[in-house]
Structure 1
Amino acid sequence: MRVHTMLLGACSVLAFTGIASAETLTIATVNNGDMIRMQQLTDDFKKQNPDIDLEWVTLEENVLRQRVTTDIATNGGQYDVLTIGNYEVPIWAKQNWLMPLDDMPEGYDKADLLPAIAGGLSTDGTLYAAPFYGESAMVMYRKDLAEKAGVTISDQSTWDEIKKAAAAMTDKDAGIYGICLRGKAGWGENMAFLGAMSNSYGARWFDMNWEPQFDSPEWKATLTDYLDLMENYGPPGASSNGFNENLALFQQGKCGMWIDATVAASFVTDPDESTVADKVGFALFPEKGDIGNRGNWLWSWNLAIPASTTKGDAAKAFVAWATSKHYTDLVAEKEGWRAAPPGTRKSLYDNPDYQKAAPFAEMTLESINAVNTKKPSVQEIPYTGAQFVSIPEFQGIGTAVGQQFSAAVAGSSSAEQALSNAQQLTKREMMKAGYIK
């Protein structure tokens, strides 16, 4: 704790009684670009809240999830503010692990939050986390390479288009790969992409009796096509590539296409960071045939307060600052409107300055609004979710399945073996959890 020493006489000392020491908030967050930017802008928060200090624990995505999950489940109390996804929020809220955010400061304007995003962070109408940024998924592609290769990627893209374009744009001698996709194992890494891809292929994780479905033709088609794209048109070492690795590859001009989170759009079009900033086009997440499903990817990184914290008021002040309209304006002032945290507030997409600065704005909003978390698959399912399944067991199951599929990308197993292993391990875990006998 930082102690303020007053040297201005007894009267001054008495005047500062009660704020003699600052509260220090320990904030666990992910090492994504938007979160790094938030840390760089916290002088603004400090000016408004001089008696609150901030201590950051910034972690890679898989490590963050593991640590905050362990901490909150064991009531460890290491953190005062958590960066968590819309997967965790409703599950943890039902366990009474999170502080409700039903009394945010005046002017916060919860009504301005996009309904699709706020709905995933609420239980019985009460908000349990505040969205920092929200996303769906879309195709980002090099317009110059597509034109040179003589291929077209339509706004309403299809997997057939994607495969044809990946083949045409690949020039391995020049270090250009037709497509970059997540291969790093993790329920929020490769399985986020593959979960969305499987939805677009008509697959489902479980049938109505909670039986795993990795032995279905839809999952076989999903994984077979994914591995084909990665092996023939993807970069080497793709089994180690997650969001940040593929972002770097695309910014360096090494990817013809990248299908991933819409939040990446502001980074691939940043002229200070991306060598291809003025050459990027956007399309909706691909559709397979006439299935009528474009992946149903919906994710938000959110700030939540563990119910165990003793610094609830200070934590709420920080969460309100970081997810406010004021913070959006601050980013726009410092970095330009293109860099504003996307996917959380209606007012951002109504702002003509943002629309002008962000050529991806309309596509992002269309992608988010199209998601149906109540029915992510076209088949009958017993679960809700998006590119994930909203059950507590999914975190472990999804990561284990992701390891099988990542091994297939690395060439350690075939699609058939990976799917068989996924089926067996998922069935075993679902039996252990009591979903099936």
Structure 2
Amino acid sequence: MNIKVSTLLGACAAAALCTAATAEEITIATVNNADMIVMQKLAPKWEEATGNTINWVVLEENVLRQRTTTDIATGGGSFDIMFIGAYETPIWGAKGWLTPLDDFADDADYDLEDIFQLVRNGLSADGHLYAVPLYSETSFTFYRTDVFEKAGVEAPTEQITYDAFAELVAKVHDPDNGVYGTCQRGKAGWGENMAFIGPLANAFGAKWFDMDWQPQLDSEEWNNAITYYVDLMNNYGPPGASANGHNENRALFKDGKCATWVDATSAANDVRNPKTSTVADVTDFFQAPKQVTSNGTGWFWSWALAIPASSQKADVAKDFLKWGTSKEYYEMVGETEGWVAVPSGTRASVHEDPRLLEAAPFAETIKNAIFSVDPANPTRDPVPYTGVQFVAIPEFQGIGNYVGQQISAALTGQATVEEALANSQKFAVREMTKAGYIK
């Protein structure tokens, strides 16, 4: 394995040997996604090389967001490193809550320029870098080639409408044999069900706010989108879909329970990995659907590592960030887990590596899909915000969570679509008025 000694030794490279006197324990808050689990598996190499140790706090996605948001907003100092994303990073960085990482550009071995500029820009604010990515993603449609063939259905070669997608799903829905037509996120949360529903709403011509920041959640477009979603899932989704987020649907798909799944491109390296998936050899992809527009139909996201400004161990934390997002780290994943398992959407050199392209020929598709996303033009009509599956304002987290809860209630029949959206509109108006966007 061609892992640079300087990268592995990190903070201890100059000292040749770490002593108990210099060793530190850092606490890392992370989500329980597959790529982060691999990082935990490989992290003892960094611990051994540096003498430092890691206290991992592994949380479900919604819980992680709640814990890290509370801690960083209060300066709690519970964590030295947080896994956060393209929504939180610019907002928290601009507030001074994160440690700038501009000095990473001075490390020739790290090669910051190798990270795609689109990704770096999404993790920056006011010209300063505040996080470095483990992986980046957009969304596309996973589908079972064997199920499609059995049903006599041809996979789309161009972006289809959601109406056409529903017709396709109906043909491959086979619950008697344990295969549901589609598995989509139902678990409430701005980063869970709303990650799918936001682009779905965009496709139907909906928007969160008009140019005067007036909420638009009770619009006809939102009603059409959520009615479609509820009908799709109730007719062709698995039982208990309101409890399923990304990880639950990934597990269902890998276990052969879903014919289609619109979700993160980053999951492809797990779903197509024969070590972890029962459908690795019969899974392929096509573009996430559109409806009245193609704008904002594929999301953009990065899971990235950031250092809270409250950390007292920033130097050690930076050393881990450089290790965990370096070229050598991705090579280590390829050598130990298989090149199909290497995190996607971050470094140009990784996406050009022949070993990756041979093991994961879909890597080029993922890269092209990410570059096709335009967060500055996420909707059919002009809007005052950027962001595809989220709105890049601090208030969105609370609004998105509430709307996600209301739509989950509509999915389970506890509320009608009209009631869910009326409640969402009232809540959004109240929050935007409180924040001073509207009077």
The two structures share one fold, judged by TM-score above 0.5 = yes
Offset at residue 352 of structure 1 (A): 1.9
The correspondence of residues 177-256 of structure 1 with structure 2, limited to 5 A, is 177-256=180-259
Offset at residue 21 of structure 1 (A): 4.7
Which whole-Å CA distance do the structure 2 matches of 1:279 and 1:208 have between them? Answer: 45
Q: Is the Cα–Cα contact under 8 Å of residues 282 and 363 in structure 1 kept in the other structure?
A: no
Cross-structure match for 1:346: 348
Offset at residue 411 of structure 1 (A): 1.3
For residue 102 of structure 2, give the secondary structure of its aligned residue in structure 1: coil
Cross-structure match for 2:431: 429
Which whole-Å CA distance do the structure 1 matches of 2:334 and 2:86 have between them? Answer: 25
The one-letter code matched in structure 2 to 1:230 is M
The correspondence of residues 51-62 of structure 1 with structure 2, limited to 5 A, is 52-62=52-62
The correspondence of residues 300-379 of structure 1 with structure 2, limited to 5 A, is 300-379=302-381
C-alpha distance 296-252 of structure 1, shift in aligned 2 (>3 A): closer
The correspondence of residues 408-427 of structure 1 with structure 2, limited to 5 A, is 408-427=410-429
223-232 or 118-127: bigger deviation? 118-127
Provide, for residues 250-307 of structure 1, a one-character-per-residue CA deviation record: whole Å limited to 9, x for no partner.
0111100010011111111111221111000101111114x23251400011100011
Q: Structure 1: 5+ residue runs without aligned partners? A: 1-14
Which whole-Å CA distance do the structure 2 matches of 1:126 and 1:109 have between them? Answer: 16
328-337 or 121-130: bigger deviation? 121-130
From 164, 167, 176, give the equivalent of 2:167.
164
Offset at residue 17 of structure 1 (A): 10
Cross-structure match for 2:9: none
C-alpha distance 224-390 of structure 1, shift in aligned 2 (>3 A): same
Q: Please say if 1:23 is aligned against 2:18.
A: no
Cross-structure match for 1:12: none
Provide, for residues 22-44 of structure 1, a one-character-per-residue CA deviation record: whole Å limited to 9, x for no partner.
21000110011110110000122
For residue 262 of structure 2, give the secondary structure of its aligned residue in structure 1: strand
Q: Please say if 1:132 is aligned against 2:134.
A: yes
229-238 or 218-227: bigger deviation? 218-227
The one-letter code matched in structure 1 to 2:189 is G
Offset at residue 19 of structure 1 (A): 5.1
Which whole-Å CA distance do the structure 1 matches of 2:133 and 2:54 have between them? Answer: 19
Q: Is the Cα–Cα contact under 8 Å of residues 140 and 298 in structure 2 kept in the other structure?
A: no
Which whole-Å CA distance do the structure 2 matches of 1:292 and 1:271 have between them? Answer: 33
Offset at residue 362 of structure 1 (A): 2.0
Q: Is the Cα–Cα contact under 8 Å of residues 303 and 319 in structure 1 kept in the other structure?
A: yes
Which whole-Å CA distance do the structure 2 matches of 1:146 and 1:362 have between them? Answer: 24
The one-letter code matched in structure 2 to 1:192 is A
Cross-structure match for 2:291: 288
C-alpha distance 206-294 of structure 1, shift in aligned 2 (>3 A): closer
Provide, for residues 160-197 of structure 1, a one-character-per-residue CA deviation record: whole Å limited to 9, x for no partner.
33111210111111121000000000000001110111
The one-letter code matched in structure 1 to 2:89 is V
For residue 258 of structure 1, give the secondary structure of its aligned residue in structure 2: strand
Cross-structure match for 1:65: 65
Offset at residue 403 of structure 1 (A): 0.2
Q: Is the Cα–Cα contact under 8 Å of residues 152 and 161 in structure 1 kept in the other structure?
A: no
Cross-structure match for 2:50: 49
Offset at residue 416 of structure 1 (A): 1.5
The one-letter code matched in structure 1 to 2:383 is I
The correspondence of residues 70-81 of structure 1 with structure 2, limited to 5 A, is 70-81=70-81
Cross-structure match for 1:297: 299
Which whole-Å CA distance do the structure 1 matches of 2:111 and 2:419 have between them? Answer: 51
RMSD value, Cα: 1.5
27-36 or 270-279: bigger deviation? 270-279
Q: Please say if 1:112 is aligned against 2:141.
A: no
Which whole-Å CA distance do the structure 2 matches of 1:369 and 1:241 have between them? Answer: 28
Cross-structure match for 1:33: 34
Offset at residue 134 of structure 1 (A): 0.5
213-222 or 61-70: bigger deviation? 213-222
Number of residue equivalences? 421
Q: Is the Cα–Cα contact under 8 Å of residues 199 and 376 in structure 1 kept in the other structure?
A: yes
Structure showing greater radius of gyration is 1
Which consecutive segments of 4 or more residues in structure 1 shift more than 6 A? Answer: 15-18
The one-letter code matched in structure 2 to 1:163 is A
Cross-structure match for 2:13: none
For residue 42 of structure 1, give the secondary structure of its aligned residue in structure 2: helix
* TM-score, normalised via structure 2 length: 0.93
The one-letter code matched in structure 2 to 1:204 is K
Which whole-Å CA distance do the structure 2 matches of 1:155 and 1:287 have between them? Answer: 14
Cross-structure match for 2:277: 274
Which whole-Å CA distance do the structure 1 matches of 2:204 and 2:350 have between them? Answer: 33
Which whole-Å CA distance do the structure 2 matches of 1:420 and 1:172 have between them? Answer: 34
Q: Please say if 1:121 is aligned against 2:126.
A: no
148-157 or 222-231: bigger deviation? 148-157
Which whole-Å CA distance do the structure 1 matches of 2:22 and 2:115 have between them? Answer: 35
For residue 375 of structure 2, give the secondary structure of its aligned residue in structure 1: coil
Q: Is the Cα–Cα contact under 8 Å of residues 296 and 372 in structure 1 kept in the other structure?
A: no
Provide, for residues 325-363 of structure 1, a one-character-per-residue CA deviation record: whole Å limited to 9, x for no partner.
010000000011111111111112212221111132122
For residue 354 of structure 1, give the secondary structure of its aligned residue in structure 2: helix
Q: Is the Cα–Cα contact under 8 Å of residues 186 and 398 in structure 1 kept in the other structure?
A: yes
